[in-house]
Structure 1
Amino acid sequence: MAQQSVATPQPVPTSDKLDAAVLKVAGVVVLGAIMSILDVTVVSVALPTFQSEFDASYARVAWTMTGYTLALATVIPLSGWAADRFGTKRLYMIALALFTIGSGLCATADTIGELIGYRVLQGLGGGMLMPIGMTIMTRAAGPHRIGRLMAVLGIPMLLGPIGGPILGGWLIDVASWHWIFLINLPIGLIALVYAQLALPKDSPEPSESFDFLGMLMLSPGLALFLYGVSTLPEAGTFADPEVWLPMLVGAALVVAFVRYSFKPRHPLLDLRLFRNRNLTIASVTLFVFIIAFMGAGLLFPSYFLQVRGETTLTAGLLMAPQGLGAMVTMPIAGMLADKVPVGRTVPFALVLIAAGFFTFTQVDPNTSYVLLCGSLFVMGLGMGGTMMPLMTSALRSLSGPEVARGSTLVNILQQIGGSIGAAVMSVILTNELNDSRPIPGAVDPSGNPVTEAGLAIAVQQRPELAQQFPVDPSFIERGLDYAADSFATTFWVGFALVLVTFVPAAFLPRRRERSHLLDDQPGGEQVKTPVVIH
């Protein structure tokens, strides 16, 4: 998530250990981080369930992820300004309340539109939990112990990609999809009470103004543009006003934002920072990588569920190797980031990702699970060696107040990239599935033709449907082939984007450069600026 600058420097104590008072505060922040991070990964295995429950296309249900990440991107720059104006404790508790209320409302959704709207509310709260929590922890412990604090926060960040899909799959299997949201209610209430008792009293100090005009252009602009893109599979043509009109208005708002952002003293996103070559190269590399990896990554559990007919719990377990791979290399990459130029490490990590990704471009209804899980593990190894080094490289050559603005810029690009990836990949998959052969005389409850791929997927998830559609078994077999080919085609797009990532990565620094991530403090103390990714 976005980095928050440290408050007034504190005296350096004789011990670097985290005392009981600091650990008490850290407990509050870890609870919030667990809810926020798990809720991204938990929902990934639920998308096919949302399809069948709400009778919606994959492109539409993917907005439960796209809307959430766009909301995260919206509040990242807002959180620092609001923390100064309203106080960190008060704002953190508001974020917890928003996230918890949003979770409860998600469980009550009767339509996919309601669920998307409630996910946006949930994202507005979740987006503030990590940056405000990091600020609270830094102020409580002092900047000299940021490394130890990052180790504490690293626990949910490492376990989230492993535990989220498994927890989500288990809850859906033993109860219902509602429980992937309801489980946040007791955790949220405990965290609210804990925060009230453990966090120090607020002392708000209003600082710089906030660029509300910029926010009103960027966030709606992205949302409208991506909505138009996601409507394409249902409309069937770019000529439909529901496709081109929101895309045109959204693109105009984004262009207007870019032109406007060079005027304010404190813009929402400081695009002037792109004059820094290292920041630009690292940001472009990270942006393209996120579109490919996060967009196609949402489809991995869907393949296991829809083509292979696995339960949601099994799909979650099959995704675990990816998280395990990242857990292996992320600490190593963190240690190497200060010693070896990223231009010498990131390309090797991208090779691992490309190698693992290629396997999924060849999937069929019977591809070996050993091969697929091994590929996910290799991709996880590559992901762990890519994300943090790129973030570090982007910020390394910045200094002073530029670091805070640069971290906000890079983190928002990360969330926007995830939103674009989810929307684009889901549209490609939906188009591919819709192009499969229709079954003569078969229509769904909405009156739309039933395709062989659509029927095969439905029967895989709900075998009782085979009785309602007494068709030749060869239709089901052929439909699964169509479905697997649709996933493979979509993975080819993701794989091509991974290859594109090698182009900017070739220009990453290959020589050690002086890092400006150390800010001069009174008394000559050098302090690392915290960098937190979601």
Structure 2
Amino acid sequence: MTTAPTAPPPPRVPEAIHRRRWAILGTLVLALLVVVLDNSILNVAMKTIATPAPVGLGASQSDLEWSINSYTLVFAGLLFTAGLLGDRFGRKRALLAGMTVFGLASLFSALAQTPGELIGYRAVMGLGAAFAMPATLAIIMNVFERHEQPKAIGIWTGAVGLAIAIGPITGGVLIEHFWWGSVFLINVPIVLVAMVAMVVLVPESKDPNPGRLDPVGVLLSVVGLVALIYGIIKGGELADFTAAESLVPTLVGLLVLVGFVLFEKRTAHPALDVTWFRNKIFSTSIVVIGVVFFALMGVSFFGVFYTQSIRGYSALQAGLLMLPLAVAQLIFAPRARLVVDRFGIRATCAGGMALITVGFLGYTVLGATTPIWVLIVLGFLMGAGMAHVMPPVTVAVMSSLPREKAGAGSALNNTFRQVGGSLGVAVLGAVLSAVYRDGVSGPLDQLPADLRGKAGESLEATLAIAERTHLTGVIAPARDSFLHAMHVVSGLSAGLTAVGALVAVFLLPGRTPAAPAAPGAPAGPADTAATEPADPTPADPTPADRGTGPRPAKI
């Protein structure tokens, strides 16, 4: 007696949407590019913005820092809430609203007349980005079938790396040919094109059963995240995390977030289902995301100073040197799913973390005369490592949750990425500053007493004061001190990433079985990332969609 072959599961995505899925992805990538590119493009314009009017705004060092930090503070603080609202009211609506706010704030930033105006408009840009970014990943989970999601997420992840790399290049070109506001004005036409494509191509999707609102939980999450990020930023700015200005908001943020978790465990309608973190794959993937961005953003912080202040490259040339990292991600990220299929998520992520670790170790031997091809190889190596870490863990996070909670999952993914990156810049930046200041303190004795404190703040400050006072004897020791500080921070980052690799080895699953779980059976820890999670929403009884996701009409 022969058994009839099992029919493949019916498609979850309506055919009309399935046919245009790659065009939808292109539209989402365009939105993602403009949001991520904006932060990296701004770094190139800092020197010009600091120049007195009419060339710049005459911004102080504190003004420059807060033009970046105001964006980060609002963006990270509202990511989770924005993801929840997208699930409830519609991800397309959240995306369009976010892009509208982002585009208008970009226009006003370009026309800012004072540093205070620029800081305020940058905060509004962060508000728009907080709604747009989680929606892009959530929509991907709703327009692609399960087997195509890893490839789509790989492309999404590669786009992040591309934006980080092309930002300084674009900024360098714009600053060389136009005024400083052009780095913001460039966003406007891109946003307009993306929004037209979104209206035409992107379908609406939402949680069909969102339940009651949880205003207390939402408020606690916003207050906790904003206070925590503010404390981290302030600690990095002061290079002292024990100062009251940093320690108090950090502790308040942590206490409020603890209160948020306790409240969510007890309320009948939580904004965040804390039981998600009992899933080992979900929680481990979230930790890996935070660790990678902690180390990577911290190192990228000093990479710009190494290429420009130590090696003497222009802003445009320094941006071009970041291309290998982006190219590697573009090549490998969409193909990471093939490596996962062959070796499993554990080996793939651990191998990627190992490559990143080797890249950080390479930074510990870079000197003032090291052949530049070494930096190019290290960048490609780290990009390849990122490409084999971020797509698998992002898929693991998103696949561990019901599809109707895609916005919340995307928001958590991006929140941990943003918090990890902010911590990396603040903590590793503070370590870099402390080691540099200690190393250069002796040579700075030859400067006037009233200039020593300012000169010790950074390599750029030392070089500027040495040039102004014609005391060039401090330049060589300052560069040596910076290189030593860079090596220390690189070593710390390598150690942290190595720990992340061990976490992946011990806590992420190996190769998942090819056979799907029996209908109605919950996924076990070993196959959660590879199988469709149970959807509490009753399936549509029509033959068009008998899968576990929301009904086609809701997509």
TM > 0.5 fold call: yes
Provide closer, same or farther for how the CA distance between residues 526 and 149 of structure 1 changes in structure 2, counting only shifts above 3 A.
Answer: farther
1:472-523 CA distance string (max 9 Å, x none): x321111111222222222222222112212311212124244223678653
Give the conservation status (yes or no) of the 8 Å contact 1:137–1:149.
yes
Worse overlay, 230-239 or 120-129: 230-239
Name the amino acid aligned to 2:509: P
Give the conservation status (yes or no) of the 8 Å contact 2:29–2:156.
yes
2:486 corresponds in structure 1 to 487
Q: CA deviation at 1:323?
A: 0.9
Distance 1:123 1:174 in 2: 27
1:5 corresponds in structure 2 to none
Name the amino acid aligned to 1:98: V
Give the conservation status (yes or no) of the 8 Å contact 1:90–1:202.
no
RMSD: 4.0
Please, which runs of 5 or more residues in structure 1 have no aligned partner?
A: 1-7, 530-534
Query: TM-score scaled by structure 1?
Result: 0.80
Give the conservation status (yes or no) of the 8 Å contact 2:233–2:422.
no
1:213 aligns with 2:216: yes
2:319 corresponds in structure 1 to 316
Q: CA deviation at 1:207?
A: 4.0
1:350 aligns with 2:369: no
1:449 corresponds in structure 2 to 453
Spell out the pairing of 1:288-367 with structure 2 (5 A cutoff).
288-367=291-370
Q: Secondary structure at the match of 2:260?
A: helix
Q: Secondary structure at the match of 1:290?
A: helix
Provide closer, same or farther for how the CA distance between residues 494 and 26 of structure 1 changes in structure 2, counting only shifts above 3 A.
Answer: closer
Q: CA deviation at 1:449?
A: 2.9
Provide closer, same or farther for how the CA distance between residues 111 and 230 of structure 1 changes in structure 2, counting only shifts above 3 A.
Answer: farther
Worse overlay, 509-518 or 320-329: 509-518
Worse overlay, 183-192 or 232-241: 232-241
Give the conservation status (yes or no) of the 8 Å contact 1:74–1:124.
no
2:95 corresponds in structure 1 to 92
1:517 corresponds in structure 2 to 532
Worse overlay, 519-528 or 500-509: 519-528
Give the conservation status (yes or no) of the 8 Å contact 1:99–1:124.
yes
Name the amino acid aligned to 1:55: S
1:411-450 CA distance string (max 9 Å, x none): 3222221222222222223333443323445378xx7734
Worse overlay, 105-114 or 33-42: 105-114
Q: CA deviation at 1:333?
A: 0.8
Please, which runs of 5 or more residues in structure 2 have no aligned partner?
A: 1-10, 52-57, 513-525, 551-555
Give the conservation status (yes or no) of the 8 Å contact 1:270–1:405.
no
2:3 corresponds in structure 1 to none
Q: CA deviation at 1:377?
A: 0.8
Give the conservation status (yes or no) of the 8 Å contact 1:439–1:451.
no
Q: Secondary structure at the match of 1:262?
A: helix
Give the conservation status (yes or no) of the 8 Å contact 1:45–1:169.
yes
Give the conservation status (yes or no) of the 8 Å contact 1:306–1:457.
yes
Equivalent residue pairs, number: 509
1:123 aligns with 2:126: yes
Q: CA deviation at 1:470?
A: 1.6
- Specify which of 234, 242, 267 is matched with residue 245 of structure 2: 242
Provide closer, same or farther for how the CA distance between residues 367 and 209 of structure 1 changes in structure 2, counting only shifts above 3 A.
Answer: farther
1:38 corresponds in structure 2 to 37
Name the amino acid aligned to 2:61: A
Provide closer, same or farther for how the CA distance between residues 509 and 92 of structure 1 changes in structure 2, counting only shifts above 3 A.
Answer: closer
Spell out the pairing of 1:131-530 with structure 2 (5 A cutoff).
131-133=134-136, 156-157=159-160, 159-192=162-195, 207-232=210-235, 240-398=243-401, 405-435=408-438, 436-437=440-441, 438-442=444-448, 449-451=453-455, 454=458, 457-458=460-461, 468-471=468-471, 473-507=472-506, 508-512=508-512, 513-514=526-527, 515-517=530-532, 522=540, 523=543, 525-526=546-547
Distance 2:144 2:232 in 1: 46
Give the conservation status (yes or no) of the 8 Å contact 1:453–1:483.
no
Give the conservation status (yes or no) of the 8 Å contact 1:270–1:409.
no
